[in-house]
Structure 1
Amino acid sequence: MSYTSSFVHDFIRQLKHNQPADPIARHAEIPWFDIDNASDRELLVTHSSPCSFTLGTGASIYTDVLIPALTTARHEVILVTCFWARSTTLSALHEALVQLAAHRCALLADARSKATAPIPPLRVRICFSSRSLLQKLLHPQSRDGYVYPPSSWKAVLGLPEPALLESAAIQLQVKSHFFLPFSVMHPKFVVVDRQRAFIPSCNVSWEPWLEGCVEVTGAAVSGLLSFYSRTWDPECGGTEPPLERNHLIEPPAFDVRMAGLILVASTAHRRVALLPESPSPIPTLLLPSSCHRNPHFRPFPWQKDPEPPATPLNVALLTLLNGAGRSIYIQTPNLTCQAVLRALLDALRRGVDVAVVTSRNLMLLEQLVTAGTTTSRCIRSLLRRYKKLERRLAENHPADVEAGHASLGRLRISYFCPRPGLKTRTQRRQRPSPAQVEEEEEEPVHSHLKLIMVDDEYTVLGSGNLDRASWYTSQELGILFQSSNFANTVGAEVDGVLADRLDLVFDSAVH
């Protein structure tokens, strides 16, 4: 199975046309992928084998999927997130590292007593962008970022004691990146032994929001490693294996589920194994979006909104929206990017059905600061423009409207809301005991899932919101799958979670 040739052709053509020729401008892009270079193109236009798709809250996804995966690592763990905060999620990660260290100490002692080959060290890299307002204001404005000293791991970051990790041959490094005024590194992903990759929408944070996570193997993992290397760790060796495994003993895997660690349940938790639709991997695009320090604000009403930066993620999404033939489904925390709103209106004008699920009153201050507007205002504006198109159609083609042959696509807009009758709770910011957590189930209060599906064939997941911050300043990472089977499976799982969790705002079929 291969990509529709016209889609990839348009995607590559637009990237080539818009990439800067100035070496200084290219150097400012973090990360930079040269679309004229065949090797770089192969990192972005690639294939993968999706293994699983999970929905739930951030804590339930971390404790049920991500932490068990990283504790199976034999050689290396890469954990990249945007926000890092005291939370049940962080407590669960802390406890897992403590238990993993104890497991490895026992293995090391056994190897020494039997004089067998030594257990290889475990390389752990944790990367994030935002921890607090003060941290961001004082953050070094360097591409090298800030490496946290071991003395800060426990008190500042909530991680285990350095001495414990050292005794277990766990080589930890923690780094942060942030560029003023608000260029956060927004991607979230976990890579285990450079073979398995997980791309969640959730942070290491306390918010009980609806999140999603896809697990993949295959060639796309190499592109993800290159993205990591070019942003966080130029010395990591790109896509090469971290160690020469032929000369090392593979340590027994640590079974996190037998260790009695924190497991957070969620009323929205669903996990589905993705069976391959064919023996070959499915076409996959890795879609980075570089951070930009200039937000290109246009504060006056008569100023035209600037075009968003032509990053691979932005270009791919606009190409999909502009080429949609039947349907567009969008689930996004915020919707404040005018380029996206224009593309949706154009699609509706072509007769494409559009469904939008977003959140009401989520991160309002952030929306006002980064976009000068809010999702609710943009939704109202979209509805006004859609109704104007309806009136114009009725005036110009009354016979077609009466006969039910209107050319406008159906528009449905809903806000995510907690399921009625279920108690919601906010995660404790202090460390709970496993028993305390297991007694409760988290009901998501907002949706933080980022999902776009076009024509039931193309599916985009990742970190990118459809707001101005994600499209103009933040570094983002998306992953696009071309597979009707994958789209149908993800769509069915999302529909199941959204049952009784939607507040319908508008449906042109019933209004």
Structure 2
Amino acid sequence: MTSTSQFDHFKEAWKASILERRSPVRDEFPDYHVSDPGVLVGTSLIHSFELGTGASIYTNSLLPAILQAEHEIILVTCFWASSSTRSALKDALEKLAEDRRERILRTRESGSDAHGLSPLRVRICFSSRSLFQKLFHTRSRNGYVYPPSAWASQLGLPSPEVLESGLIDLRVKSLFFLPFSVLHSKYVVIDRRRAWFPSCNVSWEAWLEGCVEISGDAVASLIQFHQHVWDPRLESQLPPRVGLDLGSARPPGLGRIALMPIPSFAGRFLSLPEAVTPTILLPSSHHCNPRYNIIPWRRYSTPPPTPLNCSISCLMDMARHSIYIQTPNITSTPVINGVLKALERGIAVVIVTSKALMFLEQIVTAGTTTSICLWSLIRRYRKLQAKHAQFRQIRSHDDLEPELDIEAQQPQIGSLTISYFHSRPGNGPESIVEEPQKSHIKLTIVDRQYTILGSGNMDRASWFTSQELGILFYSVDFAEAVSTAAAEVLVDRLEPVFSSSVAND
């Protein structure tokens, strides 16, 4: 297969899996892609990829981008908590309001039209702020819009007076569905020209995170998703002046506004050559806990055929060489089964996860834990090894068919490597440079050419109940760049759990 035909083959198999296994759960949220998954397929220019902690990614990339906004800022996160990230976001918005206020004054003093500066729309969306907020949150899909009086006191944002002085139109909205269906997606869009997909929240955790920056058709697809989930009344068009890209749209005088970056020992920033890259936006619709089974050893339910779920399943089924998975938790039975099937076909599998991350959440949403699931995976893999060895031994003593090609009858099983992430020794919490304590990045790379990033974990919550958003890139160069950066960051940060002695031929 040629490079293009490989992607086309995956794309058609992915679309067919969604259409053929439409979810029996009615009233998908969102559902605009159900009848035509092709609307999610497009292209993008990948500008950068970054690794670090949440605070370092926000202060190094996301907040500087926010400071360049001329017309619209869309910030979506899952968790919203008091933290250095939230404080830095408040500072950025205040500095932006101050700069805009000074520009308005200069315009008035020069006698020009004071309304030459268009209002800046800022839309902040999140799902979880506190246990109380979730327990008493409205079940309406319209969500809850926070009044201006709550911006400073409850959310740690600038006051309405500060924002209004800079013609900043802020709206803050939350969505959450009991019992534990969070909207887990995370993204930032500036002037509908560029978008960032960070794995981090606006929160206090010093975890290893990742973020990819793009422009192109995929941004329009993201805006469509945002309209169907968070803002049905979102204006379809921005003012004509938004046509400039971020670099040329930088407001006069904004160069003197600087934020203090929060560095990370795991920080890596890759500025990438801009090439048109086949890209698929991968929503995973909210479901109100479908087929949850409190008896964990009973037969698992089939997960909803969301674009994200189907993408991961299809890639594992189609993998020809390798599968790399880095996830905070792994409690999804379909993922475990998919990994075993790939190993049986001779695919090399590497899994990097965290030890005891969000332990209670795992118990509540999955009825099991990552450590238990990994123990089960290793046990089943060893049985596969034993079965393979027994088959080879039997065939090697088969005098009836001396010319039989053993490898043709049963391929060499793939190698399996599992590791827990841990902080690097010597980088203590007393340092002003953050050392990630856990791995929170969601990264899947298949055959060194398909890369999935976004919010989706390999746990039951992401596969069955939470609303997720992933993004898939088909690019050998990007997959290699991400793999290399991840490998560099993981040096001295891995605790081996299992490593097979089977080579992947």
Pair in the same fold by TM > 0.5: yes
Partner in structure 1 of residue 125 of structure 2: 127
After superposition, what is the alpha-carbon deviation per residue over 1:83-110, rounded to whole angstroms, capped at 9, x for unaligned?
0000000010011111111100000111
- The separation in 2 between residues aligned to 1:108 and 1:301, in whole angstroms, is 61
- Structure 2 CA distance for partners of 1:16 and 1:95, relative to 1, 3 Å: same
Q: Tell whether 2:364 aligns with 1:361.
A: no
Contact persistence 2:353–2:421 (CA under 8 A)? yes
Give a deviation string over 1:291-317, Cα, whole Å, max 9, x none.
111242223366321100010100111
Q: Structure 1 pair 381/401, CA: closer, same or farther in 2 (3 Å)? A: farther
Select 2:491's aligned residue among 481, 499, 502: 499
Q: C-alpha displacement at 1:32, in angstroms?
A: 1.3
Gap change, CA 1:445 and 1:256, over 3 Å in 2:
farther
**Does residue 1:262 correspond to 2:257, yes or no?**
no
SS for the counterpart of 1:442 is coil
Q: 2:88 aligns with which of 82, 86, 92?
A: 92
Cα distance 1:404–1:113, how it changes in 2: closer, same or farther (>3 A)? Answer: farther
Determine the structure 2 residue equivalent to 1:72. Answer: 68
| 1:106-255 equivalent positions in 2, closer than 5 A | 106-117=102-113, 118-237=116-235, 240-245=236-241, 253=251
Q: Distance in 2 between matches of 1:424 and 1:257?
A: 32
Question: What amino acid is the match of 2:29?
Answer: I
Change (3 A) 1:256 1:336: farther
Q: Taking structure 1 as reference, are residues 246 and 510 closer, same or farther at Cα in structure 2, changes over 3 Å only?
A: closer
**Residues 462-481 of structure 1: pairs in structure 2 closer than 5 A:** 462-481=454-473
Please name the residue that 2:56 is paired with.
Answer: 60
In the alignment, which residue of structure 2 is the partner of 1:272?
270
CA distance in 2, matches of 1:390, 1:477: 36
| Worse-superposed segment, 409-418 or 395-404 | 395-404
Find the partner of 1:283 among 261, 269, 278. 278
For residues 475-506 of structure 1, the C-alpha deviation after alignment (integer angstroms, 9 at most, x for no partner) is: 00000000101100010001010011111111
Matched residues in 2 for 1:235 and 1:245: separation?
21
CA distance in 1 between counterparts of 2:249 and 2:344 reads 59
* Alignment TM-score, normalising by the size of structure 1: 0.91
Matches within 5 A, 1:399-438: 407-424=412-429
- Distance, in Å, in 2 between the alignment partners of 1:423 and 1:284 is 39
TM-score, with length taken from structure 2: 0.92
In structure 1, the partner of 2:14 is 11
1:153 touches 1:160 (CA, 8 Å); kept in 2?
Answer: yes
SS in 1 for 2:91: helix
Which residue of 453, 466, 486 corresponds with 1:461?
Answer: 453
Paired position in structure 2 for 1:398: 393
- How many Å apart are 1:246 and its aligned residue? 8.1
In the other structure, the counterpart of 2:38 is 41
How far apart, CA to CA, are the structure 2 residues paired with 1:339 and 1:460?
A: 17
Match of 1:487 in 2: 479
1:78 alignment partner, SS class? strand
Corresponding residue SS for 1:4 = helix
The 2-side partners of 1:367 and 1:62 are apart by 27
Alignment identity in percent?
Answer: 50
Instruction: Name the structure 1 match of 2:402.
Output: none
Distance in structure 2 (CA, Å) of the matches to 1:404 and 1:257: 67
Dislocated runs of 4+, deviation >4 Å:
254-257, 399-406
Q: Matches of 2:301 and 2:53 in 1, distance apart? A: 35
RMSD: 2.3
Unaligned runs of 5+ in 2: 398-404
8 Å Cα contact 2:72-2:192 kept in structure 1? yes
Shift in alpha-carbon separation, 1:394–1:366, aligned structure 2, 3 A: same
The equivalent of 2:300 in structure 1 is: 305
- Mark the CA change 1:257 to 1:321 in structure 2 (over 3 Å): closer, same or farther: farther
- Paired residue secondary structure (2:51): strand
